[in-house]
A and B are shown apart, each in its own frame.
Chain A
Amino acid sequence: MSGEVQASTEEQQEMQDTVVSPEKAEEVKLKARYPHLGTRPGGSDLLRKRLQKGQQKYFDSGDYNMAKAKMKNKQLPTAAAEKTEITGDHIPTPQDLPQRKQSLVASKLAF
């Protein structure tokens, strides 16, 4: 009997926590989806990502040709899905490159 009472008190505490802090409930949800999140210091990960905003590795014809020569029969590595990670081994291919902008057009606000 007492065991049951204890269990329900714990449940109540959990409910209380959820009610009291929606933020904590959201954290629980996030950790459930991404169990490895926060195992490395989250702050520096986020900050590093922020400092590297918009930075991409670009096509280097020298690297490309060297890699092609080495590979010979093998296929070149395909583009990583996660472009934000700068990996030392991945040689970007022309398909990886985003299109540079062409001619500059006037702003639509000016009409």
Chain B
Amino acid sequence: MMAGVGGGNDFQWCFSQVKGAIDEDVAEADIISTVEFNYSGELLATGDKGGRVVIFQREQESKNRLLSRGEYNVYSTFQSHEPEFDYLKSLEIEEKINKIRWLPQQNAAHFLLSANDKTIKLWKISERDKRAEGYNLKDEDGRLQDQFRITTLRVPVLMPMDLMVEASPRRIFANAHTYHINSISVNSDYETYLSADDLRINLWHLEITDRSFNIVDIKPANMEELTEVITAAECHPHQCNVFVYSSSKGTIRLCDMRAAALCDRHSKFFEEPEDPSSRSFFSEIISSISDVKFSHSGRYMMTRDYLSVKVWDLNMENRPVETYQVHEYLRSKLCSLYENDCIFDKFECCWNGSDSAIMTGSYNNFFRMFDRNTRRDITLEASRENSKPRAILKPRKVCTGGKRKKDEISVDSLDFNKKILHTAWHPKENVIAVAATNNLYIFQDKMN
């Protein structure tokens, strides 16, 4: 049973777990830069600015305690990317993990793709719980035996050992991006995936690392003529020939790879008409789309711009079917948000498993959920103060002016350094993961 937002009497979000250090001084490397559940929801991966990946696994539910649900505990952690230096251009390449995408599970091992600005890596995470003992040619410590000393032969036996989870890089897809990679997306054919940077999108085969196809190139011949960049891209969940990419001008293009090898000409162009009289210096900046996500059904897609989340019906290009205001009160603060660069923050958004609800982050460690059916919305906070086990999260409210009610917070008191840019929703259940700078919060629905 899924869906429901918690805006009303139906569901209630409770604190489940928080991961990460409590110190006030946050090391840059510890800032979480991506969060992603795998297809079953059993695994939850995070990437950080230090290039590290931490994977959590959900514990099997205990049959005795009906109300307790599986907790997520560390399963594996590894250094995915390291800082590099491009000697030719004298540029440092950050190790920060921009995106992690899981591959669907096809055997006992788990596979994920992780990308920094320039390189994508395919990691295999596998378990080892047995080891062979009783070798003929080497002893317990691995030292080689003198073969002439051996008088009998024995068959090594497999003995159980403590579970070891190993992560190994199986493919490294490098040197295909001049600009910074902002998205990766696994195709529904489970054979290919796309990677997008500011100006180009490439299509890879998961087995082939020395080649990729360029499928979108919006680089103008003269860079002075540059007017927009690619901000996000995603493959359609069911149609392996279709993908979309969003731009800094607030538009989305849907492309069909069957139409041409180079998809510079879109099949569909999604743009909401703008009222020219309301245009300001900020209009283009706040219309820039920071994330685009298809619904699980494949019928809709959702885009996040600075102040709102929009749901589009793929069959209607001229305007979104739903628009949700995330923090409209910021519209009268755009000047200071431009000065402190917050206006360029890239928030992500996500669907719940049944596509009935959507979630996105905001400032002050607030995050917002919208129920598409009831049109109810709720603002919740990820904070250590609300972190008693199974404590129900209280809705938060921002006061925009006039008298501030008790428990409300005024716009000027919001902490703009506490940004929730990355959130993830379990594919099947009402479990969510919220990254608050260097801490990962996991919340669960009480009724689950």
Contact = CB atoms under 8 A, between A and B. Distances in A.
B334 A110 contact: no
B54 A30 contact: no
B198 A50 contact: yes
Interface string A12-42: 0000000001111111011101000110001
Given A24-B280, A30-B335, A37-B281, A51 B77 contact: no
Given A23-B280, A30-B335, A51-B229, A110 B74 contact: yes
A30 B338 contact: yes
Interface in A40-97: 42-44, 46-48, 50-51, 53-58, 60
Nearest to A110: B77
Nearest to B56: A109
Contacts of B91: 54-56, 58
Contact of A27 (B48, B79, B282, B333): B282
Interface in B85-126: 85, 89-92, 94, 117
A59 B396 CA distance: 49
A16 B227 CA distance: 33
Scoring B52, B82, B440 by chain A CB atoms within 10 A of each residue's CB, the highest score goes to B52
Given A54-B92, A56-B92, A107 B77 contact: yes
A58 B438 CA distance: 29
Nearest to B87: A58
B64 interface: no
A67 B51 CA distance: 36
Interface string B215-233: 0000000011011110000
Given A24-B280, A107-B52, A109-B20, 9 more contacts: A23-B331, A26-B334, A38-B281, A43-B284, A58-B90, A101-B83, A105-B50, A106-B77, A108-B21
6 contacts: A26-B335, A27-B280, A50-B229, A54-B94, A57-B90, A107-B30
